[in-house]
């Protein structure tokens, strides 16, 4: 299966959009399935920084650790799941639109499965993410445009 890909235009500068969405402490504010997100250690956000995320997948709460593998402000970031049965791989890009006062955010999400995750990814994780990603991007837009 291919990655899930969604885009949204936001009326904010790329620097503002990137700094908000690439900061793991904001994950649970704009992503529906993220119940909580806590930085691992006290390193600043950047390549190698980690965050412990608990996600609601169907009726299960699943803790997982994500690691920032790419961090290129204000253009792109990549966070990869490094443990657990369902490991998400999220790549985000932020492109300036027009005079640079607007941004286009594109998120690509794919999954890697281990153990019980081999059943959870096709039955729960992927269908849930496919429905949730457009809502997450609309929520991100609403927050950043001040309509939340």
Cα distances (Å, whole numbers) of residue 90 to 28, 69, 108: 15, 10, 6
pLDDT for the residue numbered 43: 87
- Topology classification of domain 4-144: Alpha-D-Glucose-1,6-Bisphosphate; Chain A, domain 4 (3.30.530)
Q: How far apart are CA 55 and CA 73, in angstroms?
A: 26
User: Quick one: pLDDT at residue 1?
Assistant: 58
pLDDT score for 121: 92
> What are phi and psi for residue 128, nearest 5 degrees?
-65, -45
Residues of the chain with pLDDT under 70: 1, 148
Cα dihedral 22, 81, 134, 8, rounded to 10, equals 30
Confidence (pLDDT) at 58: 76
CA-CA distance, 107 to 78, in Å (whole number)? 10
Residue 57 pLDDT: 80
What pLDDT, in 10s, does the model give residues 106-122?
A: 999 999 999 999 998 99
Give the per-residue pLDDT at 78.
Answer: 96
Cβ-based neighbour number of residue 66 at 10 Å: 25
Cα 17 to Cα 107: distance, rounded to the nearest angstrom: 13
């Amino acid at each position: 299966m291919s990655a899930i890909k969604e885009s949204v235009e936001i009326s904010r500068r790329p620097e503002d959009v990137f700094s908000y969405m690439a900061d793991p402490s904001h994950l649970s504010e704009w992503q529906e399935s993220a119940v909580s997100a806590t930085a691992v250690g006290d390193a600043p956000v950047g390549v190698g920084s980690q965050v412990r995320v608990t996600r609601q997948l169907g009726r299960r709460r699943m803790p997982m650790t994500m690691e920032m593998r790419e961090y290129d402000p204000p253009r792109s970031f990549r966070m990869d799941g490094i443990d657990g049965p369902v490991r998400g791989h999220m790549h985000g890009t932020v492109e300036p639109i027009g005079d640079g006062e607007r941004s286009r955010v594109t998120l690509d999400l794919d999954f890697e499965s281990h153990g019980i995750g081999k059943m959870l990814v096709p039955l729960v994780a992927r269908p849930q993410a496919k429905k949730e990603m457009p809502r997450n991007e609309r929520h991100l837009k609403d927050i950043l445009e001040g309509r939340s």
